[in-house]
Structure formats: structure tokens, C-alpha cells
Amino acid sequence: MPPQGGLYVHLPFCPYICPYCDFAKWPLHRSRAERYLGALEAEIAHAPDFAARTLFLGGGTPNTLENAQIARVVERARSRFAPGGFDETTIELNPDRDLCAAAAFEAYRACGIGRFSFGVQSFVPEELATLGRRHSPDEVREAVHRAREAGITNVSLDLIFGTPGQTPASWLRSLEAALALEPDHVSTYGLTVEDGTPFADWFARSPGDFSANDLEAELYGLAIDVLTAAGFEHYEISNFARPKKRCLHNANYWANGEYLGLGVGAASFLGGVRSVHARELEAYSAAALGGAAIPGEDECLEGPARVGEAAMLALRTAEGVDVAAFAERYRVDFHTFYRPVIEEMQALGALDVTPARVRLTRRGRFVANDVCGAFVTFAG
Ligand code: SF4
């Protein structure tokens, strides 16, 4: 039996580059994109056997590509990794009007894509301008409307909080505007200033323009309150879903499941080895087209490192660590192994601990990176 899990395909081209973005991405050039897709097909052909349950087309901006190119990628991936079809197929979309024609959405649907994830970021024009996004709030509304018309029943909206200039009132406007579109899923990400981006230069010049930690916490708390009051499950630190609308692909990551990542910069976790392709577009394309090993790095996660990773991922979720399942899979008694760190985090009010489960409290979610980091560090 080949390993099974999630399949991620990276489509790295964007119509423009946002100043906060640290993803593996390049401005779209048609000839470069065509060469890249050829490389992707070669990688699909040479990849290890894998039984994919979900497909996630991420980027970049997948909808800068032509509809036929997207259909080609989905078809190649399906015939190689999921002949019986995927349980879930997601595409990330920029809601820019020029990239969201009705024909494109119908074409996506026709090739089996059933989940649309829109990079909305904000419904406040000034914040969109600060983030370098070129779409308007009305374009988001149009795009979601078109998705529904195309028969898409699983729509997710991504929002960013902590944008310079944002206030609790303006964040509330974005949350309410998002809810008015009746999404099935909402992801809220705190803005992080990534090295090497124009935002990092801005931060170095004027750190006071960026949200302080207490404002970020207030914004995050507002998101939790507004979205859960509207009936969403807060099922992972950054993710909220209507019942039965959790993202299956990402749930597999948090369950420490296996995944195969294809394309430049993509990460995989197979057989206990975590690997990542280098973020060099031409090196990726040349290697894949030539049938050579894709440049990158890998790391074998064994023993304590594997335990720490599993604990960190499980703690991100609403269910937390299932102690019995953890013992069976990793041969570790969670309470005994982690006693000092559990006691420390419990004393801070960050953990809810029962014999059967260990999970973050509401308070713990605000300091999730520190708490999860403590579990990774303790495992060594
Ligand atoms: S945020 Fe999205 S659209 Fe903007 S540059 Fe990054 S990948 Fe491209």
C-alpha cells in the first residue's frame, strides 16, 4: 500500500507582488509558466507512489493561470494519485475581477474543484491598499457570488489582522462583511513581518506603525467572539468552519498525516522524512524536466523530534491531544513524558488537562506559538 494523505501543488505565479508576502512566488510570465507546468507534469510522473485523498492548489495565485492549465494540472494529479477522485479539491484564488470570470469558475468546477479559498485579507479599502492588494471589497462580493452561481458549496475567506492602521472597529467591519457573504470557512491570520520583504524595511524604519501585541490580541479575540457567535467552530488556532466544513487537507497536516508537495518550494512529509524543495524557480524547472533530483533539504523526524512535532500540531486543534491515541501511535505516555511542561502551562492558564485530553484554553490560544514551542523544545 502506498502512503496516503494530502497532495499539495504549488502554482507560484502572481499578477503582482504584495509587500508583506514571503511565499515562493514570481510575477507571471506566460512562457515561464508554461515551462513550469511542464516541469510539474514531469515531477508528477516521477513522484513516489502516493494515494491522495485531498488536492490543494496553492500559490502564488493559481487563478493567474489559464483555465485549461489548471484543468491539466488537476487531471494529471488525479490520474497519477487519485484515480477514484479526491475527497476534497481546493484552489486558492485572488478575488481580483479580472481573475475571477464566471467561465473560469465553471471550468474549475467542471474539472472537479469543489472548494474555493479566496485571499480577501480585508474589506476596508485603506487596509487593502496598505497590504498592496489591488482588489476592492465589491470585487470580493462579486467573486463569491459568482462562485455560488457556479455551484461551489464550499467557500473559504482568508482575512489578515494586525495590518498597520487597523483598529478593532475596522476589523469588525471586515468580519461582518465576511459573514454577510455566508462563507463556509474563514481563516484569520495575524500579520507577520517577514525578513526580506518591503514590510520588513518599513518595520525597521518605523516599528510604531505596526500593531502592538495587545492590539493583536484584542483583534484575535474579536475574531473568535464574532465568528463563534455566528455558528463557526474554532477548530484550529487560525481557522473557523461551519459544521462539516473543516478543511480536510489542512486537518491532515494537524493530525501529523503524510503529505506530498509538488512544485517549487513545496514541502512533503513521507515515511517520517520531512523534505522541502528549494525556492529557486529555474533550478526546480530544470531539475524536474531533466528527471534529476529536485534541489532541496530533508530531515528525518525520529524519536523525540517526532513526538514534539506531533504534540505541537495536535495542540493547534480544538480537540487537542488525544492521550490514548498519542500513546498508541508514538509509544509515549503524554502526561508522564510532558509532566513539567504541562504543569507550567496549566499554571499559566494556557492548558485544559483531563486524563483523556490536553488542549489549549481560550487563553492558551492567544499564546499558542509559545505553548506549542515549549512542547517541541521539551521533547528535544
Ligand atoms: S500574497 Fe498572494 S497574491 Fe500577494 S504576492 Fe503573495 S502569493 Fe502573490
Protein residue whose Cα sits closest to atom 5 of ligand 1: 17
Angle at 229 between CA 226 and CA 233, to 5 degrees: 95
Domains of the chain (ranges; CATH) run 4-253 (3.80.30.20), 303-379 (1.10.10.920)
Instruction: Round to whole Å and give the CA distance between 123 and 141.
Output: 10
Instruction: Round to whole Å and give the CA distance between 98 and 94.
Output: 10
Protein residue whose Cα sits closest to atom 7 of ligand 1: 60
What is the pLDDT at residue 303? Answer: 87
Please give the chain's pLDDT, 380 residues, in tens.
888 999 999 999 999 999 999 999 999 999 999 999 999 999 999 999 999 999 999 999 999 999 999 999 999 999 999 999 999 999 999 999 999 998 999 999 999 999 999 999 999 999 999 999 999 999 999 999 999 999 999 999 999 999 999 999 999 999 999 999 999 999 999 999 999 999 999 999 999 999 888 999 999 999 999 999 999 999 999 999 999 999 999 999 999 999 999 999 999 999 999 999 999 999 999 999 999 999 999 999 888 899 999 999 999 999 999 999 999 999 999 999 999 999 999 999 999 999 999 999 999 999 999 999 999 999 87
Q: Is 35 helix (H, G, I), strand (E, B) or coil?
A: helix
- Given ligand 1 and candidates 23, 117, 133, which is best to mutate, with the most ligand atoms within 8 Å of its CB? 23
> 174 C-alpha vs ligand 1 centroid, how far in Å?
19
What is the pLDDT at residue 142? Answer: 97
- The C-alpha cell at 291 is 528527471
Instruction: Round to whole Å and give the CA distance between 236 and 253.
Output: 11
Place of cell 486537518: 251
User: Using an 8 Å Cβ cutoff, are 14 and 61 in contact?
Assistant: yes
Atom of ligand 1 nearest to the CA of 119: 2
The residues, any chain, with a CB within 8 Å of residue 238's CB and separated by 6 or more, are: 187, 188, 189
Closest CA to 55 of 119, 113, 118: 113
Q: Is 249 helix (H, G, I), strand (E, B) or coil?
A: helix
Contacts 24+ apart (CB under 8 A), 290-293: 291/42, 291/46
> 20 C-alpha vs ligand 1 centroid, how far in Å?
8
58 within ligand 1 shell (Cβ under 6 A): no
Instruction: Round to whole Å and give the CA distance between 352 and 333.
Output: 17
Instruction: Round to whole Å and give the CA distance between 155 and 281.
Output: 30
DSSP states of 329-356: HHS--HHHHTHHHHHHHHHTT-EEE-SS
Instruction: Round to whole Å and give the CA distance between 28 and 60.
Output: 10
Tell me the longest C-alpha to C-alpha distance in the chain: 58
The residues, any chain, with a CB within 8 Å of residue 327's CB and separated by 6 or more, are: 333, 334
Tell whether the torsion through CA atoms of 313, 319, 321 and 325 is positive or negative.
Answer: negative
> At what angle are helices 303-315 and 368-379 packed, to 10 degrees?
160
Q: Is 272 helix (H, G, I), strand (E, B) or coil?
A: coil
Instruction: Round to whole Å and give the CA distance between 305 and 120.
Output: 36
Beta strands in the chain (DSSP E): 4-11, 13-14, 26-27, 51-59, 88-93, 115-121, 154-161, 185-190, 233-236, 239-241, 258-262, 267-270, 273-277, 296-300, 321-322, 351-353, 357-360
What is the pLDDT at residue 297? Answer: 97
What is the pLDDT at residue 1? Answer: 81
Instruction: Round to whole Å and give the CA distance between 299 and 278.
Output: 14
b/e string for 200-236 if b means 16 or more Cβ within 10 A?
eebbeeeeeebbeeebbebbbebbbebbeebebbbbb
> 23 C-alpha vs ligand 1 centroid, how far in Å?
7
> 21 C-alpha vs ligand 1 centroid, how far in Å?
6
> 22 C-alpha vs ligand 1 centroid, how far in Å?
8
Instruction: Round to whole Å and give the CA distance between 70 and 61.
Output: 11
> 57 C-alpha vs ligand 1 centroid, how far in Å?
14
94 within ligand 1 shell (Cβ under 6 A): yes
Regarding beta strands 258-262 and 239-241, do their DSSP bridges make them parallel or antiparallel, or are they unpaired? Answer: unpaired
